[in-house]
């Protein structure tokens, strides 16, 4: 009896195992087939030229003012061009008052606040002569030490929610303490030493009392709050771009209008958007950092630095960008034409490596438009329209003075 019971069991077990073998065989060959098709399609997609299946992004030239501003804009002109609002975003715990702004200005220009008393904030952020930057590829700090980053402008930083090239500061208050303590910038040894340098100047006592409701103590918190308040007054709305958006149809040249259309159509506006032309501005609730370069291969032969520094960077504002070269976080590129080429090749060519399935995000579908030299020039012309007329004038005057001094 025992044998009879065991035997059928073994038979069943044997039958199942054969079926399983078939099943496994079918599944495995199915997977291999799918993988083969996948690889085939992938290689095919990568072999065919861009724009084979779908038209390359529309790069329409000939922007006309009415078309750009018309309510019935074509698909790529859906973008809403905006000017900077009158209202400045101010933290609740640091209301702006005239006395605090005045104090902040004094601190911003005070060279005593660097270790060797040689540099103030304004040394690297020359408001008029250098449009709020320093005109160098990378900044030079105390004792002639070279930094490794380019100084961005302080103009319009009131509208940025992330400060520094890597976006590591979340407010102007948070940012302002760092250059004081940075050993290659102002090189102050401690917070206490900064406060001491302020206290040793008697005229500050009254200025602090006026700014902070009669309180006479001087603290780093009050110092950075005053500086931030002053920086929030550094805003440039006097640009041809703003005039155009506000309705002056003649504010932009035909070339700038072409550039404006290209700026939207090629996809620059996916990162440089809103009134301050930056995803890292207060006008965008989402991400402010982007990979740069998004496509290192595209430019690695031309620009060696591009390979090494692939990481996330804060999307910079493009206001006054034509006045603040050299460009990029390391000041590696000294003409705006090349910067635009780098951007179009390194930032727009996200679909260069075709994925089996397209990513849903529009940004990831941007094709590299291979802009012509003329189109690059048009975009550059448009970028010039973001320059404050006051700063253009101040810079021209500063350069004229420099030339006349050199010739004496």
Binding residues vs ligand HEC (CB under 6 A): 119, 121, 123-125, 139, 141, 147, 149, 151-152, 154, 157, 160, 163-165, 172, 175-176, 179-180, 185-186, 227, 266-268, 270-272, 290, 292, 294, 313, 315-316, 318, 321, 324, 327-329, 339-340, 343-344, 347-348, 379
CB of 348 to ligand HEC, least distance (A): 6
Query: In degrees to the nearest 10, what's the CA dihedral of 340, 277, 330, 144?
Result: 130
Nearer to ligand HEC, 20 or 312 (CB): 312
Query: Which residues lie below 8 Å from residue 398, measured CB to CB, with a gap of 6+?
Result: 128, 129, 130
Nearer to ligand HEC, 79 or 164 (CB): 164
Nearer to ligand HEC by Cβ, of 43 and 145: the residue is 145
Nearer to ligand HEC, 245 or 366 (CB): 366
Do residues 186 and 113 touch, judged by C-beta distance below 8 A? yes
Cα(237)–Cα(57) distance, rounded to whole angstroms? 31
CA-closest candidate to residue 258, choices 388, 82, 384: 384
Please identify, using beta-carbon distances, which residue of 251 and 267 lies nearer to ligand HEC: 267
- The closest of 113, 114, 102 to 144, measured between CA atoms, is 114
Give the torsion sign (CA, 107, 111, 117, 119). positive
Quick check: 248 and 69 in contact, CB under 8 A? no
From the CB of 156, what's the least distance to ligand HEC, in Å?
8
Report the nearest approach of ligand HEC to the CB of residue 130 (Å).
11
Smallest distance, ligand HEC to C-beta of residue 34, A: 33
Report the nearest approach of ligand HEC to the CB of residue 67 (Å): 20
Q: How far apart are CA 197 and CA 194, in angstroms?
A: 5
Residue 138, phi-psi category: left (phi > 0), alpha (psi -120 to 50), beta (remainder): beta
Name the minimum Å distance from CB 69 to ligand HEC.
21
CB atoms inside a 10 Å sphere around CB 139: 23
Nearer residue to ligand HEC within complex by CB, 122 or 248: 122
Q: How far is the CB of 294 from ligand HEC (least distance, A)?
A: 5
Rounded CA gap, 139 and 114, in Å?
Answer: 15
Q: Which is nearer to ligand HEC, 153 or 394 (CB)?
A: 153
Q: Rounded to whole angstroms, what are the CA distances from 173 to 73, 220, 233?
A: 41, 10, 14
What is the largest distance, in Å, between two alpha-carbon atoms of the chain?
Answer: 122
Distance CA 67, CA 368 (A): 25
Identity of the residue, 214 or 319, whose beta carbon is nearer to ligand HEC in the bound complex = 319
The token duo for 166 is 């890597």
> Of 249 and 337, which CB lies nearer to ligand HEC in the complex structure?
337
- Measured from the CB atom, is 106 or 329 closer to ligand HEC? 329
Q: Are 191 and 68 in contact (CB under 8 A)?
A: no
Closest CB 194 distance from ligand HEC, rounded Å: 9
**CB of residue 285 vs ligand HEC: minimum separation in angstroms?**
17
Strand partners, 314: 289
Structure tokens at 104: 């902040």
Smallest distance, ligand HEC to C-beta of residue 283, A: 15
* CA 401 – CA 351 distance, rounded (Å): 49
């Amino acid at each position: 009896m025992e044998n009879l019971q065991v035997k059928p069991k073994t038979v069943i077990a044997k039958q199942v195992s054969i079926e399983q073998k078939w099943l496994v065989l079918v599944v495995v060959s199915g997977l291999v087939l799918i993988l083969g098709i996948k690889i085939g399609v992938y290689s095919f997609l990568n072999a065919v030229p861009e724009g084979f299946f779908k038209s390359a992004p529309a790069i329409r030239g000939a922007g006309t003012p009415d078309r750009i501003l018309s309510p019935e804009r074509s698909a790529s002109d859906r973008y809403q061009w905006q000017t900077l609002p009158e209202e400045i975003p101010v933290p609740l715990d640091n209301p702006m008052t005239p006395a605090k702004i005045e104090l902040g200005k004094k601190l911003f220009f005070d060279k005593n606040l660097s270790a060797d008393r040689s540099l103030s904030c304004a040394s690297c952020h020359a408001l008029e002569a250098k449009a709020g930057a320093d005109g160098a590829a990378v900044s030079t700090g105390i004792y002639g030490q070279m930094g490794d980053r380019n100084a961005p402008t302080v103009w319009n930083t009131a509208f940025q929610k992330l400060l520094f090239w890597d976006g590591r500061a979340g407010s102007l208050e948070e940012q302002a303490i760092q250059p004081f303590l940075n050993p290659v910038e102002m090189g102050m040894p401690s917070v206490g030493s900064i406060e001491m340098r302020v206290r040793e100047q008697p005229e500050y006592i009254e200025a602090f009392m006026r700014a902070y409701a009669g309180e006479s103590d001087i603290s780093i918190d009050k110092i950075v709050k005053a500086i931030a308040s002053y920086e929030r007054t550094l805003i440039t709305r006097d640009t041809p771009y703003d005039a155009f958006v506000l309705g002056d149809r003649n504010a932009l040249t035909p070339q700038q209008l072409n550039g404006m259309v290209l700026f939207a159509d090629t996809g620059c506006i996916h990162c440089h958007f809103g009134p301050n032309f930056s995803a890292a501005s207060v006008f965008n609730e989402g991400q402010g950092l982007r990979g740069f370069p998004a496509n290192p291969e595209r430019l690695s032969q031309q620009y060696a630095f591009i390979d090494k520094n692939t990481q996330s960077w804060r999307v910079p504002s493009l206001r006054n960008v034509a006045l603040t070269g050299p460009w990029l976080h390391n000041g590696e590129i000294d003409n705006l034409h090349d910067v635009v080429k780098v951007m179009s090749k390194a930032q727009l060519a996200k679909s260069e490596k075709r994925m089996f399935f397209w990513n849903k995000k529009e940004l990831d579908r941007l094709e590299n438009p291979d802009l012509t030299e003329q189109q690059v020039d048009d975009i550059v012309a448009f970028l010039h329209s973001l320059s404050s007329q006051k700063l253009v004038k101040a810079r021209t005057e500063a350069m004229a003075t420099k030339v006349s001094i050199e010739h004496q």
